[in-house]
Amino acid sequence: MFTGIIEELAEVVTLQKEGSNLQINLKSNITKELKIDQSIAHNGVCLTVVDIDRSNYEVTAIKETLEKSNLGFLEVGSKVNLERSLQIGDRLDGHMIQGHVDQIARCTEIKEEDGSYIFTFKHKESDNMTVEKGSVCVNGVSLTVINSKDTAFSVAIIPFTFENTNFHTVEVGSIVNIEFDVLGKYIAKMFEKEL
């Protein structure tokens, strides 16, 4: 489990295809604190550390992950949001996130508003709707939904979040990872069964 509070930005060092998998080698300031077999959210996708070499570490993304997330769009030099898993007893500053991305979305608009930013995203499926003032995870960042539509929503980004996550690299047309609120998904599933 994760909270959507980003700890660190990592930089992609190398990308290597192995069959249908993608080996992602990243450089991070927290690498020395990591261990093999540890779960870390990368742009909101929970991946396992498989190798560590000084300030670099490696994770593997399988075909399913590459099809449902933006990890297949990474390039050498890309900035990736990192969060280590929640520890028992930690404060829950964001919201409960599983690290299981539901789908990708495309940024359709960015507006600057007196130092903050409004990002709008369009996604494909409407069965995992957002709700006004509800939670959503975008590239691993816990955010509050504004302007909720069936297949689109907006979020407000404060300057701190803009500078300390990879939101400063998101442009109109950029693809991001979306994880909808897990409680909302369970409620939607219950109503679906009742109909």
Write the pLDDT tens digit of every residue in 167-185.
999 999 999 999 998 777 6
Tell me the per-residue pLDDT of 6-63, one tens digit each, with 9 for 90 and over.
999 999 999 999 999 999 999 999 999 999 999 999 999 999 999 999 999 999 999 9
- Do residue 188 and residue 108 come from a single domain? yes
Is residue 3 one of the residues assigned to a domain?
no
The residue from 84, 113, 135 where one domain ends is: 84
Residue 149 identity: K
Tell me the per-residue pLDDT of 88-129, one tens digit each, with 9 for 90 and over.
777 777 777 888 899 999 999 999 998 899 999 999 876 667
- Do residue 110 and residue 179 come from a single domain? yes
Is residue 109 one of the residues assigned to a domain?
yes
Q: How many CB atoms lie within 10 A of CB 22?
A: 19
Is residue 95 one of the residues assigned to a domain?
no
Q: Which domain does 79 fall in, by range?
A: 8-84
Helix, strand, coil percent values for the chain (each to nearest 5):
20, 45, 40
- Do residue 74 and residue 110 come from a single domain? no
Say if residue 64's pLDDT is above 90. yes
Residue with tokens 């490696």: 58
pTM (predicted TM-score): 0.88
CATH number of the CATH domain containing 161: 2.40.30.20
Q: How many CA atoms lie within 13 A of 96 on its CB side?
A: 6
Q: What is the total count of domains within the chain? A: 2
- Do residue 116 and residue 189 come from a single domain? yes
Is residue 36 one of the residues assigned to a domain?
yes
Q: pLDDT at position 58, please? A: 98
Is residue 35 one of the residues assigned to a domain?
yes
